[in-house]
Amino acid sequence: MCGIVGLYLKNKALEGQLGQLFEPMLVSMTGRGPDSAGFAIYGDEVPEGMIKVTLQHANEHYPWHDLANELEQALETDVSVLHNANAAVLKLEAQEDAVRAVITAFDPTVRVMSVGRSIEILKSVGLPQTIADKFTLSGMKGSHIVGHTRMATESGVSMEGSHPFSTGLDLCLVHNGSLSNHNRLREALKKEGIVFETENDSEVAAGYLTWRLRAGDSLQQALENALDALDGFFTFTVGTKDGFAVVRDPIACKPAVMAETDDYVAMASEYHALASLPGIEHARLWEPDPGKVYFWGRD
Amino acid sequence: MKFDLKKDSVRAVNQALHDLAQPADVSVDHISGDHNLAVGLNRPHKVTLNGHAGYYCAGMNQQAEVTVHGNVGQGVAENMMSGKVHVFGNASQSAGATAHGGLLVIEGDAAARCGISMKGVDIVVKGSVGHMSAFMGQAGALVVCGDAGDALGDSLYEAHIYVKGSVASLGADCVEKSMRAEHLEELTRLLEAAGSDEDPADFKRYGSARELYNFKVDNVGAY
């Protein structure tokens, strides 16, 4: 069991309240996932040519400025650093591969959570409320956000095993369910050059999407291919730069409910998580059909 | 008797419902997806739930009449024995699962596995139902005024299925059957009980081909 929540704002006037609207959604799913939680927030977009890299380290007082200096020297570019608990968001004009190479050479214990122009992934072991407080979720601004509360079933409880998982530039995956063919698929994906950090089944789903997207699939195609390739139970929510996608396996044991008003589109594992949203009593509510890929976002 | 889930807990509401010695009218306001509401009732209370209910609403009901002004999560009226559960919204998966008796009416749509392993309950869905509905249905009737999803009536025993709209596909051992006088009578009675003005003549009946009842020696090679 796990909880998934997503909120996409249609009304830009609400962007300053994204974290405030989202925090109760995430916390309400504590019963479905009390061991870890995380979210991918989209906003504060950097201009084209620049990237935003979200990093974490076990050390709360990690010397991020030393890493930033190293990047500045190696890549000959300015780097801005924003601390948030044991995470840091670095903005710079560079290519992803070059940035990753410098970070790994500088300190392989630094974890790259996400890379893109808009995305920031923050996650940790602990109760959802603790994690929301740790990263000051309620004060965050942005256009949309995807979150997850985890009750581990397939692998151990760790920061690396918690969701969301990055699946490429500005992309992430959260998963409720369990996959039964993840070991074999992981071995196949390793041969395709996909790197895995854990024994987690959801990371394999993320790796699968990364592989398909690299191979040239559109996100729609990648998710449709995932319906064939992945054996098991799942509701996936995929965060994209412009919105999010939802897909459930064809058996559809894992729940999902959607809500839409003039102001937002929201999804959650249970209606309970949507109940705190403004105007929810007049929202259009529905359950996404099994085996069908749904997208919301800006055109 | 009135409750408000903004201040009363689900446990307090359920305990109060169980403690009522005489049949009573009870309403509960401000439901926001709470699970296990009005479960295990065993007196002819009239319970009105205002808002969207969570999982297993009115589960194991006996005698009581539970009305929900909103949607319900999975497993509404699961294992109901008698009484009535009326949902004025949509129902998530496994509505009326394993229920032995009573009447479940859903004004909107019901998701996958509606009436799974039904054992005598009557279910009337005024909208459509999802895939695998009436899976392993043993007794009772499922009436669908809209469409049915894939694998309707898979591995069906003796539950009766009536569908007005299209059926995406029939499950193993489920076949269309002729509508005889006693079936029209049953369907008419169920539509009336559910407050529906649909014409029974517009429905088709589906039931078990009874081909899975006995092991066929021709299939021994498959084992």
Total Cβ atoms within 10 A of residue A194 = 18
Total Cβ atoms within 10 A of residue A179 = 23
Is pLDDT at A299 greater than 70 in this prediction? Answer: no
User: What are the tens digits of pLDDT across the range A62-120?
Assistant: 999 999 999 999 999 999 999 999 999 999 999 999 999 999 999 999 999 999 999 99
**Confidence at residue B181, expressed as pLDDT on a 0 to 100 scale:** 97
Kindly state the tokens that stand for B209. Answer: 């081909």
Kindly state the tokens that stand for A274. Answer: 């949507």
C-alpha distance across the termini of chain B, in Å = 60
Helices (H), chain B: 10-19, 181-193
- Dihedral of the CA atoms B81, B149, A237, A21 (nearest 10)? -60
Angle at A117 between CA A264 and CA A108, to 5 degrees: 120
> Nearest CA to B127 among B78, B88, B156?
B88
User: What are the tens digits of pLDDT across the range A215-257?
Assistant: 999 889 999 999 999 999 999 999 998 889 999 999 999 999 9
User: What are the tens digits of pLDDT across the range A146-192?
Assistant: 999 999 987 889 998 899 999 889 999 999 999 999 999 999 999 99
CA distance A234 to chain B (A): 15
**Confidence at residue A297, expressed as pLDDT on a 0 to 100 scale:** 79
Please check whether residue A233 touches B, CB under 8 A. Answer: no
Q: How many CB pairs under 8 A join A and B?
A: 43
ipTM of the complex: 0.90
**Confidence at residue A49, expressed as pLDDT on a 0 to 100 scale:** 93
Assign residue A176 a region: left if phi > 0, alpha if psi is -120 to 50, beta otherwise?
beta
- How confident is the prediction for chain A on average, in pLDDT? 94
Average pLDDT on A136-143 reads: 97
- Burial state string for A235-261 with b = 16 or more CB within 10 A and e = fewer than 16: bbbbbbbbbbbbbbbebbbbbbbbbbb
Q: Which residue has the tokens 């974490």?
A: A56
Q: Which domains does chain A have, with CATH numbers?
A: 2-45+124-297 (3.60.20.10), 47-117 (3.30.70.120)
Distance, CA of B153 to CA of A179 (rounded, Å):
27
Average pLDDT on A134-145 reads: 97
- For chain B, 223 residues long, give each residue's pLDDT as a single digit of tens: 999 999 999 999 999 999 999 999 999 999 999 999 999 999 999 999 999 999 999 999 999 999 999 999 999 999 999 999 999 999 999 999 999 999 999 999 999 999 999 999 999 999 999 999 999 999 999 999 999 999 999 999 999 999 999 999 999 999 999 999 999 999 999 999 999 999 999 999 999 999 988 888 887 887 7
- How many Cα neighbours within 13 Å face the side chain of B106? 32
CA distance B16 to chain A (A): 23
Distances (CA, A) of B39 to A2, B52, B221: 24, 15, 47
Q: Which residue has the tokens 């010397």?
A: A63
Contact between chains at A271 and B73 (C-beta distance less than 8 A): yes
> Nearest CA to A142 among A234, A264, A271, A248?
A264
Report phi then psi at B162, rounded to 5.
-125, 125
A2 belongs to the catalytic site: yes
CA distance A287 to chain B (A): 7
Chain B residues within an 8 Å CB radius of A273: 33
Per the CB < 8 A criterion, the answer to whether B51 and B31 are in contact is yes
Distance, CA of A179 to CA of A69 (rounded, Å):
42
Distances (CA, A) of A231 to A160, A165, A179, A185, A250: 23, 19, 6, 10, 10
Contact between chains at A275 and B112 (C-beta distance less than 8 A): no
Distance, CA of B201 to CA of B187 (rounded, Å):
9
Please check whether residue A151 touches B, CB under 8 A. Answer: no
Q: Which residue has the tokens 């996409």?
A: A8
> Nearest CA to A8 among A251, A243, A290, A209?
A243
**Confidence at residue B219, expressed as pLDDT on a 0 to 100 scale:** 79
Contact between chains at B52 and A285 (C-beta distance less than 8 A): yes
Among candidates B52, B93, B111 on the partner chain, residue whose Cβ is nearest the Cβ of A271: B52
Write down the catalytic residue from A1, A2, A71, A189: A2
